[in-house]
Amino acid sequence: MRGDRVLGQPAPKPAFHAERAERREPGRKPHSDTKLTISANPDRPAAGAFRQPQARPDYARPRQDSPDSPRGTVWLYGHHAIAAALANPARRLRRLLLTEEAEAALVSRLPPPWAIAHERVDRPRLDQLLGRDTVHQGAALLADPLATPGLAQTLEQPGPILVLDQVSDPRNVGAILRSAAAFGAAAVITQDRNAPDESGALAKAASGALERVPLLRAVNIARTLIALKAAGAWVVGLDGNAPGPLSGKALTGRRVVLVLGAEGDGLRRLTRETCDEIAGLAMPGGMESLNVSAATAIALYELTKDS
């Protein structure tokens, strides 16, 4: 999979290009036309605007509906991700599998009692369950996906809001969640399609941030941006071909929504046109591009450094 990339300022060619025209059968309505109606009242998001999470196939996950992985559950792995999930009262826990070494590491990170009893296993059992190439660190937790708040509830929380326009790599989304937690972002919003659901790979890359920063899934990104603007937010799209760099000082006092685009193509046309402002990143070193998770961290620092 090609990594998600963002170009800086200046750049010889844009990081994000205009959205390609949708290809659909004659007479067929787009997916979003039938699933989302924007409410005239921004405090009451329209029904269907956000979808509750459902477990989808992970890079390493037992077959759904197998005895080890009931439908609608997700295997989390790694010390940071599991410690954060155990400490989250909103997380419904089902099974906790630990090697002897992982138990000792988890005890030092999060002293018992825990909300669920653990089962002692050996590494070959976890390799069989999660996949031999999965870096599970001897720890696996079966849990339900987290419920997500509505848009109105998200707007009640302070901090910038991140919107990801078809960013598809779960590790990039996880790293973005980690930066969002570090810089006090209120939420991360992804598209319902062409974006990863909650998974073990995403949670491990987030290093515990998945339990702290809400991850919302919008049926239609452009309409979600319109709802955020109606609620008083200022929407900034990040694009390497922008007329100027992102300036946190110029945005002081605004509730900022930062929009980042997908692998290769960047912000789609309608997403870009819905933004209030397009900005880039100042990169005096002359590098052409940054990974989208790195670009997100730099943009969040710029937005919050004087707060």
The number of residues making up the chain comes to: 307
The rounded distance, in Å, linking the Cα atoms of 254 and 269 is 24
Who wins on pLDDT, 90 or 54? 90
What is residue 68's predicted lDDT score, i.e. its pLDDT?
Answer: 82
In a domain, 62, yes or no: no
The reply to whether 231 and 281 lie within a common domain is yes
Supply the CATH number for residue 284's domain. Answer: 3.40.1280.10
pLDDT in tens, 133-181: 999 999 999 999 999 889 999 999 999 999 999 999 999 999 999 999 9
What is residue 78's predicted lDDT score, i.e. its pLDDT?
Answer: 96
Quick check: 35 pLDDT over 70? Answer: no
The neighbouring-strand residues paired with 93 are 143
Model-level pTM?
0.79
The rounded distance, in Å, linking the Cα atoms of 270 and 230 is 17
Residue 44 tokens read as 């009451």
Give the C-alpha distances (Å, rounded to integers) separating 114 from 58, 117, 163: 26, 7, 34
- Identify the sign of the CA torsion 232, 214, 296, 46: negative
What is residue 213's predicted lDDT score, i.e. its pLDDT?
Answer: 97
Residue 58 has, within 13 A of its CA and on its CB side, a CA count of 29
- Phi/psi for 105 (5° steps) reads -65, -40
Query: Domain end: 143, 172, 188, which one?
Result: 143
The reply to whether 166 and 109 lie within a common domain is no
The rounded distance, in Å, linking the Cα atoms of 267 and 240 is 11
pLDDT in tens, 70-117: 889 999 999 999 999 999 999 999 999 999 999 999 999 999 999 999
In a domain, 282, yes or no: yes
What is residue 7's predicted lDDT score, i.e. its pLDDT?
Answer: 46
Quick check: 14 pLDDT over 50? Answer: no
Among 149-153, 187-191, 284-288, the range with the most confident prediction by mean pLDDT is 187-191
Assess contact for 198 and 148: CB atoms under 8 A: no
Quick check: 276 pLDDT over 80? Answer: yes
Region of 208 on the Ramachandran plot (φ > 0 left; ψ -120 to 50 alpha; else beta): left
Query: Domain end: 94, 118, 143, which one?
Result: 143
Neighbour tally for 25: CB within 10 Å: 6
Quick check: 16 pLDDT over 60? Answer: no
In a domain, 61, yes or no: no
Q: Are strands 74-77 and 187-191 parallel, antiparallel or unpaired?
A: unpaired
Range of the domain at 43: 5-50+148-304
The rounded distance, in Å, linking the Cα atoms of 167 and 292 is 8
pLDDT in tens, 205-263: 999 999 999 999 999 999 999 999 999 999 999 987 888 899 999 999 999 999 999 76
Query: Domain end: 84, 114, 143, which one?
Result: 143
Who wins on pLDDT, 162 or 4? 162
- Identify the sign of the CA torsion 42, 44, 49, 51: positive
- Identify the sign of the CA torsion 228, 233, 238, 239: positive
The rounded radius of gyration (Å) of the Cα atoms in the chain is 20
Quick check: 282 pLDDT over 90? Answer: no
The reply to whether 104 and 238 lie within a common domain is no
- Phi/psi for 72 (5° steps) reads 85, 15
Who wins on pLDDT, 123 or 34? 123
pLDDT band per the 50, 70, 90 thresholds, residue 22: very low
Taking alpha carbons only, the member of 233, 236, 238, 289 closest to residue 260 is: 238
The neighbouring-strand residues paired with 191 are 218
The reply to whether 124 and 163 lie within a common domain is no
One-character DSSP codes across 196-211: --S-HHHHHHHTTGGG
The reply to whether 111 and 167 lie within a common domain is no
